[in-house]
Every structure is written in structure tokens, then in C-alpha cells.
């Protein structure tokens, strides 16, 4: 069964970037600390990253994040989806208009201009096809940015939420949640490593 999983790193004070994020500074000032876990040598960090990348049948991201990862300082052969795992699932981008060109042309990109629900539907179709091809259940992973993940949770599109809680207080930046419909979460797993606390919840 294909699940819709929102997966994102967040600071102790609820930010998914530091202050002043932009195309050349995607995580904002100090935001690199959010992803220390993804590049650590801690065996549990490595396992969680490897498992999460492997289960990704399709990935949803917003246009701002796409512009960062496809930009000149974005993903490359050594760092991509899943950090050093460099996974290559199908990618579905929510945008008002497709880009004129794509730098990472070897990746499978779909651009959806009719909103997040339609993007999730398209990603589910891609993940289900990948599941059939591989003979195992794969998920749709909503990787960000913060507004995309927050909106997906608020509008009830998400089955599970995985947070990588980094031991940093950023003070400002892009908040993960800014209000919206209350949601009940059921805690499923907690893994504490040297660099983060990894939390998984079912979203009711």
C-alpha cells in the first residue's frame, strides 16, 4: 500500500530554514545545522536515510525547493535526494508554471500546475507504478519546502509525518506550521542519534 509521507528536518523552535533563505542560501543563515544528521557517520542516521530513500517511489516538492536543488549550487552526482544516497525516484513539482529548462535533466520530473492535491495524486500514480515494477510497497514522500509540507498536513493529504528534530534553535526562518486545521498525531517511532531525534507519527 502506498502511503503519503511528509518528511522534513526541523529546529527545536519549529523552523525548517534559518533566516533569509534564498536561491543561493537555500537553508538560510545557520540552517545547515538542520541537515547535519543527513551527512553524519552515525549508523542509525545512515540507516534511516538509506531506508527512507529506498522506500521513496515518488517525491513531491514545491517550486522554491525545486529552484534550489536544480540551481547551479544544488544537487549533483555526489549529493542529491537522500544526501549522499543520491536517490532517483520520480519527482513531482508543484508550480504555477513549468521552468523553461531543467539542469538535472537525467532525473524524472513532472510539473503540476493545478495545485498540491493534484501533485500528490500524480505522485501516487508514479509510486504505485514503481511499486508494481519492484514488487514492493513504495511511498510518496513530500520533502518540502516547509510551506508544502505544512499545507499537506493541514489539508489532510498526509498519512504519516517524519520529523528530524535537530538540536538547534534558529530564532527565525521558515516555520513548519503556521496554523490551520488541528491534526491528531499518533507517535510510532522515536530514534535518538548523536545528531538528531527522528520522530515518526501517523496523522489522523
- Find the range with the poorest average confidence among 14-18, 22-26, 33-37, 98-102: 22-26
Give Cα separations from 66 to 100, 116, 203 (angstroms): 13, 14, 26
Q: What is the band of 88 on the pLDDT scale with cuts at 50, 70, 90? A: very high
| Residue 95 burial (10 A CB sphere; 0-12, 13-18, 19+) | middle
pTM: 0.95
pLDDT of residue 42: 97
Asked whether the beta carbons of 74 and 61 are under 8 A apart, the reply is no
* pLDDT, tens digit (0-9, with 9 covering 90-100), for 31-82: 999 999 999 999 999 999 999 999 999 999 999 999 999 999 999 999 999 9
Asked whether the beta carbons of 200 and 41 are under 8 A apart, the reply is no
The enclosing H or E element of 151 equals: helix 146-154
Q: Which residue has the higher pLDDT, 25 or 46?
A: 46
The whole-angstrom distance between residue 16's C-alpha and the CA centroid of its chain comes to: 11
Superfamily, domain 4-203: Dihydrofolate Reductase, subunit A (3.40.430.10)
Residue 135 to residue 140: CA distance in whole angstroms: 16
Asked whether the beta carbons of 161 and 203 are under 8 A apart, the reply is yes
Average pLDDT across the chain, whole number: 96
* pLDDT, tens digit (0-9, with 9 covering 90-100), for 119-147: 999 999 999 999 999 999 999 999 999 99
| Averaged pLDDT for residues 169-183 | 92
Is a pLDDT exceeding 90 seen at residue 23? no
Amino acid at each position: 500500500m502506498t502511503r503519503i509521507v511528509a518528511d522534513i528536518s526541523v529546529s527545536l523552535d519549529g523552523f525548517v530554514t534559518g533566516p533569509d533563505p534564498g536561491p543561493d542560501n537555500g537553508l538560510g543563515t545557520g540552517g545547515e545545522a538542520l541537515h547535519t544528521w543527513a551527512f553524519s557517520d552515525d549508523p542509525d542516521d545512515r540507516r534511516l536515510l538509506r531506508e527512507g530513500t529506498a522506500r521513496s517511489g515518488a517525491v513531491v516538492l514545491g517550486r522554491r525547493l525545486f529552484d534550489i536543488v536544480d540551481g547551479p549550487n544544488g544537487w549533483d552526482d555526489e549529493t542529491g535526494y537522500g544526501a549522499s544516497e543520491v536517490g532517483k525516484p520520480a519527482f513531482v513539482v508543484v508550480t504555477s508554471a513549468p521552468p523553461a529548462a531543467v539542469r538535472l535533466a537525467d532525473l524524472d520530473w513532472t510539473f503540476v500546475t493545478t495545485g498540491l492535491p493534484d501533485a500528490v495524486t500524480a505522485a501516487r500514480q508514479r509510486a504505485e507504478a514503481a511499486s508494481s515494477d519492484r514488487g514492493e510497497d513504495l511511498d510518496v514522500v513530500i520533502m518540502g519546502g516547509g510551506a508544502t509540507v505544512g499545507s499537506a498536513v493541514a489539508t489532510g493529504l498526509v498519512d504519516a509525518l517524519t520529523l528530524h528534530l535537530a538540536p538547534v534553535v534558529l530564532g527565525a526562518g521558515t516555520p513548519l506550521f503556521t496554523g490551520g486545521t488541528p491534526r491528531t498525531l499518533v507517535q510510532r517511532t522515536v530514534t535518538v542519534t548523536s545528531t538528531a531525534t527522528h520522530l515518526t507519527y501517523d496523522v489522523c
